Amino acid sequence: MTKILMVRHGKAAAGWDGSHDPGLDALGQSQAQALVGAIENIMGSIKASIITSPLLRCQETARPLAEKWGIEPVIDVRVRELPSPTEDLSRRTLWLKRVMQGSWHDLQTDPESAGVDYSIWKNGILDALKEHNDQEFIVIISHFIAINVVYGATQKSDAVVGFMPDNCSISQFEYDGQSIQCLDLGDEAKTVVN
């Protein structure tokens, strides 16, 4: 049985309309520092692998915990942010706001999103979680919608967004070798996309 701690990255220095790959702002840096104690409150003295999205805000969120544990985080492209069909930052933000209100079925049939198979992206996230079933704990630093993919799978929901994880909130899941269960959702907040 593996407990999976999925952490949304700390507050980014820019949102989806401001940068393709922002780091953390000052608040995000302090959230990442506070995350160390929050994780240790859950895990005690146990150390685990840290998996992170390749994006800078996730890597910077993982850094304080990795330094405390004396390990190197593993960058896994499968837990990255939801792929966008456009590089234009303004269009990307409008697209994301619309996507977040709908379902995965809507997204797969959306003409603007043609050419991206979101089921492959979703399955990749779930595969990344299941791959570490030989450990007691695993910590994954990822993104708002990626965490919603896992939560949606536990609820058998087609909604893109089922809850609103706050920056550096910790959602706890468990994988028993067969299925993923939701143990506890992290703190929620009205959130901006970042």
Q: What is the pTM of this model?
A: 0.93
Judged against a pLDDT cut of 70, whether residue 192 lies above it is answered with no
- Predicted local confidence at residue 123, as pLDDT: 96
Judged against a pLDDT cut of 90, whether residue 60 lies above it is answered with yes
Question: Using 50, 70 and 90 to split pLDDT, how confident is the model at 154?
Answer: very high
CATH 3.40.50.1240 is right for the domain spanning 7-184: yes
Phi, psi of 53 (to 5 degrees): -60, 155
How crowded is residue 71: how many other Cβ atoms within 10 Å of its Cβ? Answer: 14
Q: Provide mean pLDDT across the span 89-110.
A: 91
Judged against a pLDDT cut of 80, whether residue 18 lies above it is answered with no
- Predicted local confidence at residue 194, as pLDDT: 57
Where b means 16+ CB within 10 Å and e means fewer, 136-150 reads ebbbbbbbbbbbbbb
Q: What is the pLDDT of residues 105-119, one digit of tens each?
A: 999 888 888 788 899
